[in-house]
């Protein structure tokens, strides 16, 4: 058991998670209190002691899934293979009856059209068991996995999903819902779409897990843990970030600006106390029998500077300019006046765009669309 955990922690460290010795000991202590046959509880016990930041949760989950996927049996918890087999048999029975109801034929013999039909029905009724079986079937059929082939899991995932054509399925589901209800109000339509999207997302995750399981079987745990490693959010490079990653970055930056503002405001308030207010101190000392127990100070009156921002918003540095503007406006309470100018080859004042708008991204959007042409020096 100790060896097993030590190996797991080794993998976590390899994935870039900082795991200290104390946390290691805590984890060992924690698993003693948890029933080992409960896989979920085991996972949460490890997570609570080893992962100390939500950003690392994904990495932890991946390493956990991979590392403990095949050892299930010798840990006696969640012996997935055995249970899985039992489930599978039962499932296959249900499936074949379902299939028989539709077309009459075993799963392997299904034509792609029949498979798509089953997928459609399963998604419509949110039948998780069938969806899981379908995910397996889809991977077998479409991923084209070959043992020992040095390709990443994302490649297989892409191949499988392309063949399933989930976008078309979503459209069909929507059409089905519309027919059923004789036309939907926009609100209902949106809710139904969200529901189906969530289900399809579940299917996608199922496919991903299935591919991972097979890759682990093929290559072994240690090798897989290495290839599956995803970069942690703090390691993303600004210039090469994808759209999702940029959104994540923005979310990280937003509290940062607020934090700066709070901190500066606090420095102003407490950092430099005003001079001693002798009168006030004496007046208060009366209540302590003439002893000046509570010194009073005058309020400081710091000077606030004016600031002028000149931002280059041409394509190559636009992302940085955006960040700077966001920062300046977050701490604008620290300045008596903020004026901002943008330029590409001519310069233009954009201060009014930021007035009375609380959503800085919208203001920046307006700068780009409305002032953009003027900024281009016409």
Partner 1 sequence: MAPTPRFGSVPEVREGLRTVDYLADEGIAGVVYLADRLGKPVLIEGPAGTGKTELGKSVASMTGSRLIRLQCYEGLDESKALYEWNYKKQLLRIQAQRVAEEDGAAANWHDIEEDIFSEEFLLTRPLLEAIRADEPVVLLVDEVDRVEVETEALLLEVLSDYQVSIPELGTVSAHQIPLVFLTSNNTRELSEALKRRCLYLHIDYPDLEREKEIVLARVPGISEHLADQIVRIVRSLRTLELKKHPSISETLDWARTLLLLGLEGIDADQAKATLHILLKYQSDIAKATKELTVAEPA
In the complex, which residues of this chain contact partner 1 (CB under 8 A)? 18, 20, 22-23, 26, 29-30, 33-35, 38, 40-41, 44-45, 47-49, 51-54, 57, 171, 174, 185-187, 189-191, 193-195, 198, 247, 255, 258-259, 262, 266, 270, 288-289, 291, 293, 357-359, 362
Q: Which residues pair with 342 in a beta bridge?
A: 311, 348
What's the closest the beta carbon of residue 187 comes to partner 1, in angstroms?
A: 4
The residue among 205 and 337 lying less far from partner 1, judged by its C-beta, is 205
Q: Comparing C-alpha atoms, which of 230, 214, 199 is closest to residue 60?
A: 230
DSSP 195: H
Please state, in angstroms and rounded to a whole number, the distance separating the CA atoms of residues 178 and 15: 46
* φ/ψ (deg, to 5) at 109: -85, 5
Contact 342, 375 (CB under 8 A): yes
Distance of closest approach, residue 360 Cβ to partner 1, in angstroms:
10
Q: How far is the CB of 35 from partner 1 (least distance, A)?
A: 8
Tokens at residue 222, please? 């240690």
> Nearer to partner 1 by C-beta: 147 or 290?
290
Q: How far is the CB of 28 from partner 1 (least distance, A)?
A: 11
92 versus 209: smaller Cβ distance to partner 1: 209
Which of residues 48 and 217 has its CB atom nearest to partner 1 in the complex?
A: 48
Is 9 in contact with 57 (CB distance < 8 Å)? Answer: no
Q: Which is nearer to partner 1, 70 or 174 (CB)?
A: 174
Please, which residue, 74 or 358, has the CB nearer to partner 1?
Answer: 358
Q: Report d(CA 180, CA 73) in Å as an integer.
A: 47
348 φ, ψ to 5°?
-145, 140
Distance CA 234, CA 16 (A): 10
Q: Is 343 helix (H, G, I), strand (E, B) or coil?
A: strand
Least CB distance to partner 1 at residue 13 (A): 15
User: Least distance to partner 1 from the beta carbon of 42, Å?
Assistant: 9
């Amino acid at each position: 058991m100790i060896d097993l955990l030590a190996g797991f922690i080794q993998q976590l460290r390899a994935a870039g998670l900082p795991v200290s010795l104390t946390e290691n000991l805590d984890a060992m202590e924690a698993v003693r209190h948890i029933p080992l046959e409960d896989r979920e509880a085991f996972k949460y016990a490890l997570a609570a002691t080893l992962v100390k930041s939500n950003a690392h949760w994904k990495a932890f989950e991946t390493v956990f899934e991979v590392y403990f996927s095949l050892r299930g049996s010798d840990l006696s918890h969640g012996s997935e293979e055995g249970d899985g087999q039992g489930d599978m048999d039962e499932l296959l029975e249900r499936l074949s009856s379902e299939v028989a109801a539709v077309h009459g034929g075993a799963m392997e013999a299904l034509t792609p059209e029949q498979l798509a039909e089953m997928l459609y029905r399963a998604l419509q009724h949110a039948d998780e068991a069938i969806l899981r079986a379908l995910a397996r079937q889809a991977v077998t059929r479409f991923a084209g996995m070959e043992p020992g082939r040095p390709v990443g899991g994302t490649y297989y995932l892409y191949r499988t999903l392309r063949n399933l054509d989930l976008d078309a399925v979503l459209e069909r589901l929507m059409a089905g819902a519309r027919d059923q209800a004789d036309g939907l109000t926009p609100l209902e339509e949106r809710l139904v779409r969200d529901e189906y999207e969530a289900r399809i997302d579940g299917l996608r995750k199922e496919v991903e897990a299935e591919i991972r399981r097979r890759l682990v079987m093929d290559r072994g745990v240690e090798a897989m843990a290495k290839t599956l490693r995803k970069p942690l959010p703090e390691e993303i490079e600004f210039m090469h970030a994808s759209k999702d990653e940029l959104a994540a970055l923005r979310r990280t930056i937003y509290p940062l600006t607020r934090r700066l503002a709070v901190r500066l405001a606090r420095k102003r308030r407490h950092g430099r106390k005003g001079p001693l207010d002798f009168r006030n101190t004496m007046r208060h000392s009366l209540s302590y029998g003439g002893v000046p127990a509570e010194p009073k100070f005058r309020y400081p009156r710091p000077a606030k500077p004016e600031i002028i921002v000149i931002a280059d918003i041409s394509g190559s540095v636009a992302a940085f300019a955006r960040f700077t503007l966001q920062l300046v406006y977050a701490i604008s309470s620290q300045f008596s006046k903020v004026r901002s100018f943008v330029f590409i080859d001519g310069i233009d004042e954009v201060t009014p765009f930021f007035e009375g708008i609380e959503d800085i991204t919208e203001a920046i959007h307006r700068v780009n669309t409305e002032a953009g042409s003027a900024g281009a020096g016409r």
